[in-house]
Amino acid sequence: MKSNILMGRYELGRLLGQGTFAKVYYARNLKTGESVAIKVMAKEKILKVGMIEQIKREVSVMRLVRHPNIVRLYEVMASKTKIYFVMEYVKGGELFNRVADKGKLKEEEARKYFQQLISAVDFCHSRGVYHRDLKPENLLLDDNGVVKVSDFGLSALPEQFRQDGLLHTACGTPAYVAPEVITKKGYDGATADIWSCGVILFVLMAGYLPFLDANLMVMYKKIYKGDYKCPPWFSSEVRRLVLRLLDPNPRTRITVPQLMEVPWFRRGFKRPQADKDVNVGVLDDVDSAFFVPKPACLNAFDIISLSPGFNLSGLFKDDVLKQEEESRFTSTQPASSIMSKLEEIASLFRFSFKKSKDFKMKLQGSEQGRKGHLSIDAEIFEVTPSFFMVELRKTGGDTLEYSKFCSQDLRPGLKDIVWTWDGNRQEKE
């Protein structure tokens, strides 16, 4: 990262982790001070391997499944070369690390985590979402030891089912994948997720995998047959539950509703309340991430017409705007940064604002002036890819109040990003 300020809204910090297509950074919301995690992906890589639909699906899924035990997606942003997922920051790290450090967990602790995992999985299934890659590495822990399910990159939605009502894409992590997924004859997403949950419960309490072999085909044969052994410290209740979870036959495997009636599982269980502000998964943000909106471009004739010597507005007196009711400035900052700065100033001086994706903004003062509320329209134009012009116009209120606001509040507030004002001398090097 060349700059540690992203889109004028987040301060980027240390690298939390990275994979083939993404890096995840710790960040801080400059406005609220809230800690977040930002997943950064290069568009070029995503386009090259044809992952656009997968990214769209992941965002759609994360908007559908707002739940206390699922990592939350706050927003999707984009630049010309990168896509940014702004997500909930989960400080405690992976549940996998906790198991690796301790070797195995006590039954009470394992049950607590397992209950939270099943709560999240049950909610996902109720929304038609199937994770398909559940494993301790994708389960995060917050400061209070609350499980947060993450990484929905391989998840499936109902539209991916074929006419037989089954999923057919073999995916997931080999040691956690259900036997019916291996056979490639079609599988039910819910029962496949339950198998993975069974493997996770085994790992939490044993400290090792139930199915493991250096030879992948040998391991798959063990999975297909349900060939595993519980360690001696497993209680009889846990053994019986694991047996039902790791049933190789998906038709007789325990379901989530049946699991929630098991006495061992119900012990101390409190079902968390799902968030009420559930978003139904509109994909506008993701579409715009790949087709980044740009400000309107000024061509040669537009630029010439802005020159005082070529201003023909006097020929059309009925349409002309008074000079004192409009102003312009230029900037070498990115259009998104200019828009963020205008938004910041509007909030500072208690102006309401409404912005659009075509880099236009409407501002309105909160106080009643001599001629009503002061209203201003702002629009950003691209002169070159690295040089922009911003036009401000008074659309309501008193002209003197507009001039005062521009000179005393707006200009000083914009001094860090302005190159020139209305053709005046250069103000920023």
* Token digits of residue 4: 């540690």
Catalytic residue among 101, 122, 133, 318: 133
**142 a catalytic residue:** no
Dist. CA 295–CA 419, nearest whole Å: 18
* Token digits of residue 49: 């391997």
> Residue 252, SS3?
coil
Number of alpha carbons in the 13 Å side-chain half-sphere of residue 153: 15
Are the beta carbons of 334 and 382 closer than 8 angstroms?
Answer: no
Phi, psi at 320, each rounded to 5°: -70, 140
Amino acid at 169: T
* Token digits of residue 107: 């039954």
Dist. CA 145–CA 181, nearest whole Å: 32
- Please, which contacts does 360-367 make with residues 24 or more away whose CB atoms are closer than 8 Å? 362/395, 364/396, 365/397, 365/405
Alpha carbon dihedral 53, 54, 58, 59, in 10-degree steps, equals -30
Are the beta carbons of 342 and 378 closer than 8 angstroms?
Answer: yes
Are the beta carbons of 148 and 70 closer than 8 angstroms?
Answer: yes
The partner residues of 388 in beta bridges, in order of sequence, read 331, 382
Provide the 10 A C-beta neighbour count for residue 226: 15
Phi, psi at 354, each rounded to 5°: -140, 125
The partner residues of 357 in beta bridges, in order of sequence, read none
> Residue 144, SS3?
coil
The partner residues of 37 in beta bridges, in order of sequence, read 26, 87
Residues annotated as catalytic (active site), given as ranges: 133
